[in-house]
Amino acid sequence: MELKATSLGKRLAQHPYDRIVILNAGVKVSGDKHEYLIPFNQLLTIECKRGLVWGELEFVLADNKVVRLHGTEWGETQRFWQHLNERWRSWSAEMSEVAAQVLSEQLEAIGGRVASGHWLTRSQLNGVQAQLRQAFDALPLPTARLDGFDNCRELWRQCQAWLKDIEARRAQHNQAWTDDMLRQYADFFAHIESSPLNPAQARAVVNGEKSLLVLAGAGSGKTSVLVARAGWLLLRGQASPEQILLLAFGRKAAEEMDERIRERLKSDEITARTFHALALHIIQQGGKKAPAISMLENDAVARQKLFIDAWQTQCAEKKAQAKGWRQWLEEELQWTVPEGNFWQDEKMVRRVAGRLDRWVSLMRMHGGSQTEMIEAAPEEIRPVFSKRVKLLAPLLKAWKAALKAENAVDFSGLIHQAINLLDKGRFISPWKHILVDEFQDISPQRAALLAALRRQNPHTTLFAVGDDWQAIYRFSGAQLSLTTAFHDYFGEGELCALDTTYRFNSRIGEVANGFIQQNPHQLAKPLNSLSSGDKNAVTLLAQEHLDALLDKLSGYATPEDRILLLSRYHHGKPASLEKAATRWPKLQLDFMTIHASKGQQAEYVIVLGLQEGGEGFPAPARESVIEQALLPAQEAFPDAEERRLLYVAMTRARKRVWLLFDKENPSRFVDALRQLGVSVARKP
């Protein structure tokens, strides 16, 4: 069927197209010099319009292009349009069935990935959007028309929802799945620990992400979550006991975790390991023989004697090196160094022993050659660092000789060996799930061991529980960014937070949380308390009132109430405690450094030594170029780690915290606390 413009219409319209022919599944419009083929699968609408005299046909195409035919006789135009429109709509109805089938197949394919009985990870949805776009390209109809067909409309909208916001759809699915799990296994969550898990804890336990960081604030029940996670994996058949690896940072923490698992899961098949015990296991299984751990690793006195002997020999035998050491200690550390053979001075020996131990430890942890260490150092300190490394070289040599004499390895060597065995494929990881406690304390070396394990088994999940607000071990190599930028290092996944503390009241929480979050680089998270606490739950008090405070406490603290006195330094132990046994015999008083108090709790906490200066809190930066080069970079925010240290101190308390400061030389933290509404008491 064909439609042509009239002679007069053709002349007056002056349009490139003056006739149209209906094809099998399209139309062809043409003129004397131009021709345009319009397939039905490109058409959005066909309009029939009447001008003053003649008719007009308008074809709207999928690419927003419009093709018009003018100057046709109106009656013929109407008849042609009716016939064409009927052909087009009949074809469209047929093609809508094909389109509906394609869309249904796509939704079924997505449904196969989104099984209702499983958590949906991002990796499971990889390629879904690309697959949808590819399917849309293969549709016989323009996608703009799909909403107009009853058999396509809902299917199209569902596909569009996946295309527009796949993350929202994933979150919606996981939320529904989690709610179902919490209902279905309510009895498990009510009885897996001595107290029922709260919703935030339970949601963390069932989260199915491949890499999950659980932010567990002070007193929020992180151990309960770790135990419940292991129990959940067993209950759901996601792992057998030998496929679960539970890691802690210290032997005591690992033993406590073992005891808790035996008690709650009634199983001794899941064993918590330290990173060093894990490395030893890998070497035993993948190497020819099990290495012995050097006795020096657990004997600080013998270890420091080894370094002092090597240092003294070096200084005595080589004047140039003695001069180098004097320069280092005087110019960089600003120590007063005695004249003459300073390396024989007893006070100097005591002072330098710990430093030598620490510096050699950092070099051992690095694991590379001296050249590699120097090349990896920041450019601005590299020349000085190179000199220091050369001065320390004889001490490192003495350490290696001592290990050889023992036929033993050190802790750093253990982890390096384990990573090497994993990368060579001499040990294949059997673990499907790795659970790590106190993750904020992880070092790059330990993180490398985790990465090597996951390379062995790419499907291994990492369930990390920690709190960046309590990261206080940078001096031993911990790298905070491994927590704050968790997914940059450990792959896609999620972050969730335990939102309730069972330890301190809301006033302690208000002050401690406000204080730590003055640093904008700390991860924001809610941490609510179950009890309110009054305004005086946190109080600033002049340090001269310590005895009076203990007198007052002796009046109302029960013998069961623990009172924890915390100091930034070991030597901050107050003289008052020497008379405690007779003056306050009923008080349960314990003194420790804040670092040692991690994991502890007490009804009352007294924080000592809030003063400025060399022995102050916050502690002044005392890092040598060795720490600057071999430790993770310091944060830009002032006193960031010292703030976290005070946060740890305050959050040991259940009921009350007193912050004792020097009135003549108060710590700058005192002003920061006052700005948060902490009052200064004139007396206890």
Domain boundaries, the chain: 1-183, 185-294+435-501, 301-409, 525-681
Q: Are 658 and 539 in contact (CB under 8 A)?
A: yes
Alpha carbon 157 to chain centroid, angstroms: 35
Q: What single string gives the DSSP state of each residue in 139-180?
A: -SS-GGGGGG-HHHHHHHHHHHHHHH-HHHHHHHHHHHHHHH
CB 540 within 8 A of CB 638: no
Residue 223 annotated as lining a ligand binding site: yes
State the Cα–Cα distance between residues 110 and 130, nearest whole angstrom: 12
Using alpha carbons, select from 667, 629, 626 the residue that is nearest to residue 645.
667
pLDDT of residue 13: 63
Would you list the DSSP string of 214-256? Answer: EEE-TTS-HHHHHHHHHHHHHHTTS--GGGEEEEESSHHHHHH
The whole-angstrom separation of Cα 599 and Cα 30 is 85
Under 8 Å CB-to-CB from 364, ≥6 apart: which residues?
A: 396, 399, 410, 412, 413
Joined tokens for residue 178? 């989690």
Give the integer Cα–Cα distance in Å for 650 and 516: 11
Q: Please indicate if the annotation marks 220 as binding a ligand.
A: yes
* 135 touches 108 (CB < 8 A): no
Structure tokens at 346: 């007893």
CATH architecture of 525-681: 3-Layer(aba) Sandwich (3.40)
User: With the C-alpha atoms ordered 566, 568, 570, 573, is the resulting torsion angle positive or negative?
Assistant: negative
C-alpha to C-alpha distance for 573 and 567, rounded to whole angstroms: 7
Beta bridge pairs of residue 29: 20, 36
Classify strands 562-567 and 602-610 as parallel, antiparallel or unpaired.
Answer: parallel
User: Alpha-carbon distance 525 to 543, whole Å?
Assistant: 33
Quick one: pLDDT at residue 645?
A: 97
CATH of 1-183 among 1.10.40.60, 3.40.50.10320, 3.40.980.10, 2.30.29.30: 2.30.29.30
The full length of the chain comes to 684
At 20, the amino acid letter reads I
CA distance 592 to 567: 7
Question: What are the Cα distances from residue 644, in Å, to 215, 467, 521, 628?
Answer: 15, 10, 12, 20
Q: What is the 3-state secondary structure (H, E, C) of 269-319?
A: CCCEEEHHHHHHHHHHHHCCCCCEECHHHHCHHHHHHHHHHHHHHHHHHCH
Residue appearing with tokens 């976290």: 644
Distance CA 545, CA 547 (A): 6
Q: Token match 């009890």: residue? A: 531
Buried b / exposed e over 44-63, threshold 16 CB at 10 Å, is: bebebeeeeebbbbebbbee
Fold match between domain 1-183 and domain 185-294+435-501: no
Half-sphere exposure at residue 68, Cβ-oriented, CA atoms within 13 angstroms: 12
The CA-based dihedral angle spanning residues 153, 158, 160, 166, taken in that order and rounded to the nearest 10 degrees: 180
Question: 271: closest CA among 283, 250, 255?
Answer: 255
> What's the token pair of residue 524?
């924001």
412 known ligand binder: no
* CB 178, CB 461: distance < 8 Å: no
Helices in 293-410 by DSSP H: which ranges? 300-317, 319-327, 346-366, 370-376, 382-406
The pTM (predicted TM-score) of the whole model is 0.85
SS3 67: strand
Bin 112: left if φ > 0, else alpha if -120 < ψ < 50, else beta. Answer: alpha
d(Cα 324, Cα 319) in Å, to the nearest integer? 9
C-alpha count within 13 angstroms, C-beta hemisphere, residue 185: 20
Structural tokens at position 19 = 């006739």
185 vs 205: CA distance, rounded Å: 12
The C-alpha atoms of residue 668 and residue 662 are separated, in whole angstroms, by 11
Q: Tokens in use for 1?
A: 């069927």
Q: Is 447 annotated in some ligand binding site?
A: no
Contacts of 602 (CB under 8 A, 6+ apart): 561, 562, 563, 564, 590, 652, 653, 654
Instruction: Dig out the tokens for 374 from the structure.
Output: 């120097």
Question: Measured between alpha carbons, how far apart are the two ends of the chain, in Å?
Answer: 103
Residue numbers in the chain where pLDDT is lower than 70:
13, 115-116, 288
Per CATH, the homologous superfamily of domain 185-294+435-501 is P-loop containing nucleotide triphosphate hydrolases (3.40.50.300)
Nearest alpha carbon to residue 520 among 636, 416, 628, 667: 636
Question: Residue 667 has what DSSP assignment?
Answer: -
| 8 A C-beta contact, residue 309 and residue 302 | no
Name residue 675's amino acid: Q
Mapped onto helix, strand or coil, the DSSP state of residue 635 is coil
pLDDT score recorded for residue 109: 87
User: Annotated binding residue at 633?
Assistant: no
CB atoms within 10 A of CB 637: 13
Please list the residues that pair with 606 across neighbouring strands: 565, 658
123 marked as binding residue: no
